[in-house]
Amino acid sequence: MRQSQLFTKARREAPADEVSKNAQLLVRAGFVHKEMAGVYSYLPLGRRVLEKIERVVREEMDAVGGQEIRMATLHPSEPWKQTGAWDSVDVVFKLMSRTEKEYTVGQSEEEIVTPIAREYLTSYKDLPVAIYQIGQKYRDELRAKSGIMRGREFTMKDMYSFHETQEDFDRFYAEVKEAYLKIYSRLGLIAKATEASGGAFTTKLSYEFMVLTDAGEDDILYCNHCSYCVNAEISDQKEGNACTRCNAGELSRAKASEVGNIFDLGTKYAKDFSFTYKDREGKDQLPIMGCFGIGISRLMGVIAETFGDEKGLVWSLSVAPFAVHLVSLGKGDDEISKVAEALYVDLQKAGVEVLYDDRDLRAGEKFAESDLLGIPKRVIVGREAVASGVFEVVDRATGKVEKKSREALLAPSA
Protein backbone atom coordinates (compact mmCIF):
# COMPACT_ATOMS: atom_id res chain seq x y z
CA MET A 1 0.00 0.00 0.00
CA ARG A 2 1.13 3.53 -0.77
CA GLN A 3 1.45 5.62 2.37
CA SER A 4 0.29 8.68 0.42
CA GLN A 5 -3.07 6.88 0.06
CA LEU A 6 -3.34 5.80 3.72
CA PHE A 7 -5.97 8.09 5.22
CA THR A 8 -4.57 7.88 8.75
CA LYS A 9 -1.60 9.96 9.83
CA ALA A 10 0.80 9.57 12.71
CA ARG A 11 0.74 12.23 15.41
CA ARG A 12 3.76 13.73 17.10
CA GLU A 13 2.11 14.12 20.50
CA ALA A 14 0.71 11.43 22.76
CA PRO A 15 -3.05 11.84 23.30
CA ALA A 16 -3.71 13.61 26.60
CA ASP A 17 -6.59 11.36 27.61
CA GLU A 18 -4.71 8.06 27.43
CA VAL A 19 -2.70 6.78 30.39
CA SER A 20 -1.68 3.35 29.14
CA LYS A 21 1.34 2.83 26.90
CA ASN A 22 -0.58 0.62 24.44
CA ALA A 23 -3.29 3.21 23.79
CA GLN A 24 -0.83 6.11 23.66
CA LEU A 25 1.25 4.39 20.99
CA LEU A 26 -1.65 2.91 19.04
CA VAL A 27 -3.56 6.21 18.91
CA ARG A 28 -0.44 8.21 18.02
CA ALA A 29 0.47 5.81 15.23
CA GLY A 30 -3.09 5.85 13.86
CA PHE A 31 -3.83 2.17 14.50
CA VAL A 32 -6.93 2.84 16.61
CA HIS A 33 -9.36 5.68 17.22
CA LYS A 34 -10.94 6.18 20.63
CA GLU A 35 -14.72 6.53 20.68
CA MET A 36 -15.05 6.63 24.47
CA ALA A 37 -13.34 5.00 27.44
CA GLY A 38 -13.01 1.30 26.62
CA VAL A 39 -14.30 1.56 23.05
CA TYR A 40 -12.00 1.86 20.04
CA SER A 41 -12.36 1.69 16.28
CA TYR A 42 -9.61 -0.18 14.46
CA LEU A 43 -8.16 1.78 11.54
CA PRO A 44 -6.41 0.22 8.49
CA LEU A 45 -3.11 -0.57 10.25
CA GLY A 46 -4.78 -1.71 13.48
CA ARG A 47 -7.30 -3.83 11.64
CA ARG A 48 -4.47 -5.61 9.83
CA VAL A 49 -2.80 -6.46 13.15
CA LEU A 50 -6.07 -7.78 14.61
CA GLU A 51 -6.59 -9.92 11.52
CA LYS A 52 -3.08 -11.36 11.81
CA ILE A 53 -3.76 -12.36 15.41
CA GLU A 54 -7.14 -13.80 14.38
CA ARG A 55 -5.47 -15.83 11.62
CA VAL A 56 -3.07 -17.50 14.06
CA VAL A 57 -5.89 -18.24 16.51
CA ARG A 58 -8.16 -19.56 13.72
CA GLU A 59 -5.45 -21.90 12.39
CA GLU A 60 -4.85 -23.43 15.81
CA MET A 61 -8.57 -23.76 16.63
CA ASP A 62 -9.18 -25.42 13.25
CA ALA A 63 -6.26 -27.76 14.02
CA VAL A 64 -7.99 -29.07 17.18
CA GLY A 65 -11.18 -29.63 15.15
CA GLY A 66 -13.05 -26.41 16.00
CA GLN A 67 -15.87 -25.43 13.62
CA GLU A 68 -16.15 -21.70 13.12
CA ILE A 69 -19.52 -19.98 13.16
CA ARG A 70 -20.71 -16.43 13.68
CA MET A 71 -23.21 -16.01 16.47
CA ALA A 72 -25.67 -13.20 16.92
CA THR A 73 -24.43 -10.38 19.16
CA LEU A 74 -27.89 -8.95 19.88
CA HIS A 75 -29.53 -11.45 22.22
CA PRO A 76 -33.03 -11.90 23.59
CA SER A 77 -33.11 -11.63 27.39
CA GLU A 78 -34.92 -14.98 27.89
CA PRO A 79 -31.93 -17.40 27.72
CA TRP A 80 -29.98 -15.05 29.99
CA LYS A 81 -32.79 -15.19 32.53
CA GLN A 82 -32.94 -18.96 32.13
CA THR A 83 -29.30 -19.37 33.21
CA GLY A 84 -29.52 -16.71 35.91
CA ALA A 85 -26.82 -14.57 34.29
CA TRP A 86 -29.26 -11.71 33.66
CA ASP A 87 -29.24 -10.98 37.40
CA SER A 88 -25.98 -12.53 38.60
CA VAL A 89 -23.40 -11.34 36.02
CA ASP A 90 -22.63 -7.68 36.69
CA VAL A 91 -21.13 -6.86 33.27
CA VAL A 92 -24.27 -7.79 31.27
CA PHE A 93 -25.57 -4.77 29.34
CA LYS A 94 -29.36 -4.47 29.41
CA LEU A 95 -31.18 -2.81 26.53
CA MET A 96 -34.83 -1.94 26.10
CA SER A 97 -36.62 -1.71 22.76
CA ARG A 98 -39.31 0.87 22.03
CA THR A 99 -41.90 -1.85 22.54
CA GLU A 100 -40.38 -2.43 25.99
CA LYS A 101 -38.83 -5.75 25.14
CA GLU A 102 -35.51 -6.48 26.88
CA TYR A 103 -32.32 -7.48 25.06
CA THR A 104 -28.64 -7.86 25.79
CA VAL A 105 -25.48 -7.86 23.70
CA GLY A 106 -23.11 -10.82 23.88
CA GLN A 107 -20.60 -10.67 26.76
CA SER A 108 -20.06 -14.43 26.32
CA GLU A 109 -22.19 -16.84 24.29
CA GLU A 110 -23.13 -19.92 26.32
CA GLU A 111 -26.73 -18.71 26.26
CA ILE A 112 -26.73 -18.74 22.46
CA VAL A 113 -24.48 -21.67 21.61
CA THR A 114 -26.11 -24.20 23.96
CA PRO A 115 -29.56 -23.95 22.31
CA ILE A 116 -27.85 -24.15 18.88
CA ALA A 117 -25.98 -27.30 19.91
CA ARG A 118 -29.14 -28.82 21.43
CA GLU A 119 -30.84 -28.59 18.06
CA TYR A 120 -28.20 -30.68 16.23
CA LEU A 121 -26.42 -32.87 18.79
CA THR A 122 -29.01 -35.48 19.59
CA SER A 123 -27.01 -38.72 19.74
CA TYR A 124 -23.69 -39.86 21.24
CA LYS A 125 -22.66 -40.29 17.58
CA ASP A 126 -22.78 -36.49 17.19
CA LEU A 127 -20.22 -35.94 19.97
CA PRO A 128 -17.68 -34.55 20.60
CA VAL A 129 -18.08 -31.19 18.90
CA ALA A 130 -16.23 -27.89 19.33
CA ILE A 131 -17.82 -24.70 18.02
CA TYR A 132 -16.05 -21.36 17.99
CA GLN A 133 -16.33 -17.84 16.77
CA ILE A 134 -14.24 -14.70 16.62
CA GLY A 135 -16.30 -11.62 17.29
CA GLN A 136 -17.20 -8.61 19.33
CA LYS A 137 -18.11 -8.81 23.02
CA TYR A 138 -19.72 -6.14 25.14
CA ARG A 139 -19.26 -5.77 28.88
CA ASP A 140 -20.32 -3.12 31.32
CA GLU A 141 -16.83 -2.91 32.85
CA LEU A 142 -16.47 -0.43 35.71
CA ARG A 143 -12.90 0.54 34.97
CA ALA A 144 -11.54 0.91 31.44
CA LYS A 145 -8.13 2.48 31.91
CA SER A 146 -5.86 -0.03 30.23
CA GLY A 147 -6.41 1.14 26.65
CA ILE A 148 -7.43 -1.71 24.37
CA MET A 149 -6.54 -4.26 27.08
CA ARG A 150 -9.83 -3.75 28.90
CA GLY A 151 -12.63 -2.70 26.64
CA ARG A 152 -16.37 -2.26 27.05
CA GLU A 153 -16.37 -3.58 23.50
CA PHE A 154 -13.58 -5.95 22.50
CA THR A 155 -12.77 -8.86 20.19
CA MET A 156 -12.72 -12.36 21.63
CA LYS A 157 -12.33 -15.87 20.30
CA ASP A 158 -14.73 -18.08 22.22
CA MET A 159 -15.01 -21.81 21.70
CA TYR A 160 -17.51 -24.19 23.32
CA SER A 161 -17.15 -27.96 23.31
CA PHE A 162 -19.60 -30.79 24.07
CA HIS A 163 -18.57 -34.25 25.25
CA GLU A 164 -19.96 -37.63 26.18
CA THR A 165 -17.57 -38.38 29.03
CA GLN A 166 -15.33 -36.56 31.48
CA GLU A 167 -12.35 -38.48 30.00
CA ASP A 168 -13.12 -37.15 26.56
CA PHE A 169 -13.49 -33.64 27.94
CA ASP A 170 -10.14 -33.97 29.75
CA ARG A 171 -8.44 -35.14 26.55
CA PHE A 172 -9.78 -32.16 24.59
CA TYR A 173 -9.02 -29.75 27.42
CA ALA A 174 -5.36 -30.84 27.38
CA GLU A 175 -5.23 -30.47 23.58
CA VAL A 176 -6.63 -26.95 23.72
CA LYS A 177 -4.22 -26.00 26.49
CA GLU A 178 -1.33 -26.98 24.20
CA ALA A 179 -2.94 -25.15 21.25
CA TYR A 180 -3.18 -22.01 23.38
CA LEU A 181 0.49 -22.15 24.36
CA LYS A 182 1.33 -22.58 20.66
CA ILE A 183 -0.78 -19.53 19.73
CA TYR A 184 0.96 -17.30 22.27
CA SER A 185 4.38 -18.48 21.19
CA ARG A 186 3.53 -17.87 17.50
CA LEU A 187 2.59 -14.32 18.53
CA GLY A 188 6.01 -13.94 20.15
CA LEU A 189 4.70 -14.02 23.73
CA ILE A 190 5.57 -16.18 26.68
CA ALA A 191 2.34 -17.14 28.42
CA LYS A 192 2.09 -19.06 31.67
CA ALA A 193 -0.85 -21.35 32.34
CA THR A 194 -2.01 -20.50 35.85
CA GLU A 195 -4.33 -22.62 37.90
CA ALA A 196 -7.35 -20.63 39.02
CA SER A 197 -10.78 -21.25 40.45
CA GLY A 198 -13.60 -21.39 37.91
CA GLY A 199 -14.86 -17.87 38.62
CA ALA A 200 -18.48 -17.16 37.78
CA PHE A 201 -19.12 -20.53 36.11
CA THR A 202 -18.12 -23.40 38.33
CA THR A 203 -16.05 -24.35 41.33
CA LYS A 204 -13.91 -26.66 39.20
CA LEU A 205 -10.33 -25.81 38.33
CA SER A 206 -9.61 -23.78 35.24
CA TYR A 207 -6.54 -22.39 33.53
CA GLU A 208 -5.83 -18.75 32.95
CA PHE A 209 -3.11 -17.88 30.45
CA MET A 210 -0.99 -15.02 31.72
CA VAL A 211 1.61 -12.86 30.01
CA LEU A 212 3.96 -11.02 32.34
CA THR A 213 3.52 -7.26 31.85
CA ASP A 214 3.38 -4.31 34.21
CA ALA A 215 0.27 -3.16 32.35
CA GLY A 216 -1.61 -6.27 33.47
CA GLU A 217 -4.30 -6.20 36.13
CA ASP A 218 -3.54 -9.59 37.66
CA ASP A 219 -0.88 -10.63 40.16
CA ILE A 220 0.64 -14.04 39.73
CA LEU A 221 3.11 -16.23 41.58
CA TYR A 222 5.29 -18.36 39.34
CA CYS A 223 8.09 -20.81 39.87
CA ASN A 224 11.51 -19.79 38.56
CA HIS A 225 12.35 -23.45 37.89
CA CYS A 226 9.26 -25.30 36.56
CA SER A 227 6.06 -24.19 34.79
CA TYR A 228 4.02 -23.86 38.00
CA CYS A 229 2.04 -20.63 38.15
CA VAL A 230 -0.93 -19.48 40.23
CA ASN A 231 -3.09 -16.37 40.54
CA ALA A 232 -1.89 -14.59 43.71
CA GLU A 233 -5.45 -13.47 44.53
CA ILE A 234 -6.66 -17.00 45.28
CA SER A 235 -3.53 -18.51 46.59
CA ASP A 236 -2.36 -18.81 50.22
CA GLN A 237 1.23 -18.95 48.98
CA LYS A 238 3.67 -16.04 49.03
CA GLU A 239 6.62 -14.71 47.09
CA GLY A 240 9.79 -16.49 48.14
CA ASN A 241 8.00 -19.71 49.08
CA ALA A 242 9.50 -22.95 47.81
CA CYS A 243 7.61 -24.36 44.84
CA THR A 244 5.42 -27.23 46.00
CA ARG A 245 5.33 -28.81 42.55
CA CYS A 246 9.01 -29.25 41.72
CA ASN A 247 10.54 -28.62 45.18
CA ALA A 248 13.51 -27.11 43.34
CA GLY A 249 12.43 -23.57 42.56
CA GLU A 250 11.16 -20.51 44.38
CA LEU A 251 8.01 -18.44 43.74
CA SER A 252 8.31 -14.95 42.24
CA ARG A 253 5.49 -12.43 42.11
CA ALA A 254 4.71 -10.38 38.99
CA LYS A 255 2.00 -8.35 37.29
CA ALA A 256 0.39 -10.14 34.38
CA SER A 257 -2.42 -9.83 31.86
CA GLU A 258 -4.89 -12.64 31.27
CA VAL A 259 -4.89 -13.36 27.54
CA GLY A 260 -7.09 -16.42 27.61
CA ASN A 261 -8.72 -19.01 29.79
CA ILE A 262 -10.29 -22.44 29.61
CA PHE A 263 -13.10 -23.75 31.81
CA ASP A 264 -14.84 -27.01 32.54
CA LEU A 265 -18.50 -25.95 32.61
CA GLY A 266 -19.69 -29.42 33.57
CA THR A 267 -23.40 -29.88 32.83
CA LYS A 268 -24.60 -26.47 34.05
CA TYR A 269 -25.77 -25.13 30.70
CA ALA A 270 -27.06 -28.49 29.46
CA LYS A 271 -29.26 -28.57 32.57
CA ASP A 272 -30.39 -24.95 32.16
CA PHE A 273 -31.50 -25.60 28.58
CA SER A 274 -32.68 -29.24 29.06
CA PHE A 275 -30.09 -30.33 26.50
CA THR A 276 -29.77 -34.12 26.44
CA TYR A 277 -28.51 -36.60 23.87
CA LYS A 278 -29.23 -40.36 23.54
CA ASP A 279 -26.34 -42.47 24.83
CA ARG A 280 -25.31 -45.94 23.56
CA GLU A 281 -28.19 -47.55 25.50
CA GLY A 282 -30.74 -45.06 24.18
CA LYS A 283 -30.89 -43.21 27.50
CA ASP A 284 -30.97 -39.41 27.82
CA GLN A 285 -27.71 -37.91 29.07
CA LEU A 286 -26.43 -34.38 29.71
CA PRO A 287 -23.29 -33.54 27.68
CA ILE A 288 -20.24 -32.14 29.46
CA MET A 289 -19.37 -28.70 28.19
CA GLY A 290 -16.17 -26.65 28.06
CA CYS A 291 -15.53 -23.04 27.20
CA PHE A 292 -12.29 -21.61 25.86
CA GLY A 293 -11.70 -17.87 25.48
CA ILE A 294 -8.90 -15.77 24.01
CA GLY A 295 -8.79 -11.99 24.21
CA ILE A 296 -7.84 -11.08 20.64
CA SER A 297 -7.81 -7.29 21.05
CA ARG A 298 -6.27 -7.57 24.52
CA LEU A 299 -3.44 -9.59 22.92
CA MET A 300 -2.80 -6.71 20.52
CA GLY A 301 -2.51 -4.40 23.55
CA VAL A 302 -0.21 -6.79 25.38
CA ILE A 303 2.05 -7.06 22.31
CA ALA A 304 2.19 -3.25 22.07
CA GLU A 305 3.05 -3.03 25.79
CA THR A 306 5.64 -5.81 25.70
CA PHE A 307 7.63 -4.82 22.63
CA GLY A 308 6.97 -1.09 22.24
CA ASP A 309 10.02 1.08 23.03
CA GLU A 310 10.76 4.80 23.38
CA LYS A 311 10.50 5.23 19.59
CA GLY A 312 7.17 3.51 19.16
CA LEU A 313 5.53 0.22 18.36
CA VAL A 314 7.48 -2.94 17.49
CA TRP A 315 5.64 -5.79 15.72
CA SER A 316 6.99 -9.23 15.03
CA LEU A 317 6.43 -10.56 11.52
CA SER A 318 3.52 -12.81 12.58
CA VAL A 319 1.36 -9.84 13.63
CA ALA A 320 2.83 -6.86 11.77
CA PRO A 321 0.45 -4.85 9.57
CA PHE A 322 3.07 -5.05 6.80
CA ALA A 323 6.30 -7.06 6.57
CA VAL A 324 8.33 -4.28 4.95
CA HIS A 325 8.28 -0.50 5.21
CA LEU A 326 9.77 0.75 1.96
CA VAL A 327 10.95 4.30 2.56
CA SER A 328 11.88 6.34 -0.47
CA LEU A 329 14.07 9.40 0.02
CA GLY A 330 13.30 10.57 -3.50
CA LYS A 331 11.31 13.63 -4.47
CA GLY A 332 8.77 13.72 -7.27
CA ASP A 333 10.01 12.00 -10.37
CA ASP A 334 13.76 11.78 -9.66
CA GLU A 335 16.06 8.74 -10.04
CA ILE A 336 15.57 7.63 -6.44
CA SER A 337 11.79 7.62 -6.80
CA LYS A 338 12.02 5.53 -9.97
CA VAL A 339 14.13 2.88 -8.22
CA ALA A 340 11.74 2.91 -5.26
CA GLU A 341 8.66 2.55 -7.48
CA ALA A 342 10.23 -0.41 -9.30
CA LEU A 343 11.17 -2.13 -6.04
CA TYR A 344 7.64 -1.55 -4.69
CA VAL A 345 6.15 -3.31 -7.71
CA ASP A 346 8.67 -6.18 -7.50
CA LEU A 347 8.16 -6.72 -3.76
CA GLN A 348 4.42 -6.95 -4.28
CA LYS A 349 4.90 -9.40 -7.12
CA ALA A 350 7.07 -11.49 -4.81
CA GLY A 351 4.15 -11.62 -2.36
CA VAL A 352 5.72 -9.34 0.26
CA GLU A 353 3.27 -7.16 2.21
CA VAL A 354 4.76 -3.72 1.86
CA LEU A 355 3.85 -0.24 3.00
CA TYR A 356 5.54 2.20 0.63
CA ASP A 357 6.34 5.64 1.97
CA ASP A 358 6.13 7.54 -1.32
CA ARG A 359 5.40 10.90 0.35
CA ASP A 360 7.42 14.03 -0.16
CA LEU A 361 8.74 14.51 3.39
CA ARG A 362 12.12 15.00 5.03
CA ALA A 363 14.10 11.80 5.72
CA GLY A 364 14.17 12.46 9.49
CA GLU A 365 10.41 12.80 9.59
CA LYS A 366 9.93 9.60 7.62
CA PHE A 367 12.30 7.61 9.83
CA ALA A 368 10.68 8.82 13.05
CA GLU A 369 7.26 7.84 11.75
CA SER A 370 8.57 4.51 10.51
CA ASP A 371 9.91 3.81 14.00
CA LEU A 372 6.53 4.72 15.49
CA LEU A 373 4.61 2.36 13.17
CA GLY A 374 6.92 -0.52 14.08
CA ILE A 375 6.97 -2.52 10.83
CA PRO A 376 9.67 -5.22 11.25
CA LYS A 377 11.96 -4.24 8.35
CA ARG A 378 12.62 -0.83 6.85
CA VAL A 379 14.13 -0.76 3.38
CA ILE A 380 15.57 2.64 2.53
CA VAL A 381 15.89 3.81 -1.05
CA GLY A 382 18.44 6.61 -1.21
CA ARG A 383 21.29 7.76 -3.43
CA GLU A 384 23.30 4.62 -2.71
CA ALA A 385 20.53 2.48 -4.16
CA VAL A 386 20.69 4.43 -7.41
CA ALA A 387 24.50 4.50 -7.58
CA SER A 388 25.29 0.90 -6.65
CA GLY A 389 21.98 -1.00 -6.32
CA VAL A 390 22.46 -1.41 -2.58
CA PHE A 391 19.60 -0.88 -0.15
CA GLU A 392 19.90 -0.19 3.55
CA VAL A 393 17.71 -2.51 5.60
CA VAL A 394 16.99 -1.63 9.24
CA ASP A 395 15.57 -4.16 11.68
CA ARG A 396 13.04 -2.31 13.84
CA ALA A 397 13.41 -4.52 16.91
CA THR A 398 17.22 -4.58 17.12
CA GLY A 399 18.16 -1.49 15.12
CA LYS A 400 20.63 -3.65 13.19
CA VAL A 401 21.49 -2.25 9.75
CA GLU A 402 22.31 -4.44 6.75
CA LYS A 403 23.05 -3.69 3.10
CA LYS A 404 21.16 -5.78 0.59
CA SER A 405 20.90 -6.06 -3.16
CA ARG A 406 17.57 -6.00 -4.97
CA GLU A 407 17.88 -9.76 -5.61
CA ALA A 408 18.47 -10.48 -1.93
CA LEU A 409 15.40 -8.42 -0.98
CA LEU A 410 13.23 -10.33 -3.42
CA ALA A 411 14.51 -13.79 -2.45
CA PRO A 412 11.74 -15.88 -0.84
CA SER A 413 13.49 -16.10 2.55
CA ALA A 414 14.29 -12.37 2.80
Residues forming contacts to ligand ATP in the complex (CB under 6 A) are 108, 139, 141, 150-151, 154, 156, 199, 258-261, 293, 295, 297-298
Nearer to ligand ATP, 24 or 146 (CB): 146
Residue 98 Cβ vs ligand ATP, minimum distance, rounded to whole Å: 29
Considering the complex, what minimum distance in angstroms separates the CB of residue 384 from ligand ATP?
46
Task: Please state the length of the chain.
Answer: 414
Long-range contact set of residues 401-407: C-beta below 8 Å, sequence gap at least 24: 404/379, 406/343, 406/346
Contact 95, 120 (CB under 8 A): no
What is the Cα 289 distance to its own chain's centre?
24
Contact residues for 408 (Cβ-Cβ < 8 A; gap 6+): 414
Residue 293 or residue 312: which is nearer to ligand ATP going by CB? 293
Q: How far is the CB of 194 from ligand ATP (least distance, A)?
A: 11
Minimum Å gap between C-beta 302 and ligand ATP is 9
Between the alpha carbon of residue 2 and those of residues 153, 354, 359, 406, the distances in Å are 31, 9, 9, 19
Among residues 138 and 356, whose Cβ is nearest to ligand ATP?
A: 138
Instruction: Report the distance separating Cα 102 and Cα 92, nearest Å.
Output: 12
Q: Least distance in Å: CB of 228 to ligand ATP?
A: 20
| Comparison of 84 and 199: residue with beta carbon closer to ligand ATP | 199
Which residue number is nearest to ligand ATP in terms of Cβ?
295
Strand pairing report for 288-295 and 324-328 = unpaired
Of 258 and 357, which has the nearer Cβ to ligand ATP?
258
Integer CA distances (angstroms), 233 to 85, 205, 216, in order: 24, 15, 14
CB of 68 to ligand ATP, least distance (A): 17
Nearer to ligand ATP, 192 or 377 (CB): 192
